[in-house]
Homo-oligomer: A and B are copies of this chain.
Amino acid sequence: MAAAAPPPPPTATPEPNMNPQTSTIGHPLFSRIRLATPHDVPSIHKLIHQMAVFERLTHLFSATESNLSSSLFTSPPFKSFTVFLLEVSRSPFPPSSLSQDSFTPLLKTHNLDLPIEDPESYNFTPDMLSDVVVAGFVLFFPNYSSFLGKPGFYIEDIFVREPYRRKGFGRELLSAVAKQAVKMGYGRVEWVVLDWNVNAIRFYEQMGAEVLQEWRVCRLTGDALLAFDNVNI
């Protein structure tokens, strides 16, 4: 359905605001949110497929690495389709690596009670020389409010892999997009949620979002869309 996947519900006790990369109590897990690049397409493809499995919508999944490659990364970041990748590691991320002009990667340390078991990590390890694992992503792009006369961001997908849920990562990904929107002077961040997903709705409302009850999404796709090729306007 390629609409925002339900994020993990917020943890019962919010994590304290720790300085990034400093605290090492318990089982530290270091996270980084960075702009994805074309090299990340294999990971992004697998994440989107996992999201389709999670939403029980694999019958709608037809993306390939090839069409992701040709349709993403065609514009500078934030100007069109943009992906933030969430990576985790048991070692701190080097502060200066991947410093991208348009977005400074967001680093954080999570102190976990127990280490995370990730049986699929081998599938989400872009660099075999490190233990960095891709744990989630958010795909978004500019939308427009004509009433405000300015752009915003629309979040198409937000997804955290199963072993990493309920740890605040969904909140971090959403916050990263919201923070970028404010930085760019944008007026809104919008996305959609399934009406029965009460945990996600509660989470979004706690993040400050309003759930608009009266609007319905209309979709023209498949043969019904192709039929317009022959319409004599």
Identify which of B4, B67, B106, B189 contacts A150 (C-beta below 8 A): B67
Given A215-B217, A218-B191, A231-B179, A148:B62 Cβ within 8 A: yes
How far, in Å, is A110 (CB) from chain B's closest CB? Answer: 12
The number of residues on chain A lying at the interface, defined by a beta carbon within 8 Å of a beta carbon of chain B, is 84
- In the bound complex, residues from chain B placing their C-beta under 8 Å from that of A156 are 143-146
- In the bound complex, residues from chain B placing their C-beta under 8 Å from that of A144 are 2, 71, 81, 139, 141, 156
Q: Which residues of A contact B (CB under 8 A)?
A: 1-4, 17, 33, 48, 51-52, 57, 60-64, 67-68, 71, 75, 79-81, 106, 108, 139, 141-152, 154, 156-157, 172, 175-176, 178-179, 181-183, 187-196, 201, 204, 207-221, 224-229, 231-233
Offer 28 A-B interface pairs, CB within 8 angstroms, sorted by A.
A33-B233, A48-B146, A51-B146, A63-B147, A68-B149, A75-B79, A81-B142, A81-B151, A106-B233, A143-B154, A145-B156, A154-B154, A175-B231, A178-B220, A179-B233, A182-B226, A182-B228, A183-B229, A187-B221, A188-B219, A190-B217, A190-B219, A192-B217, A193-B215, A207-B220, A209-B219, A210-B221, A211-B216
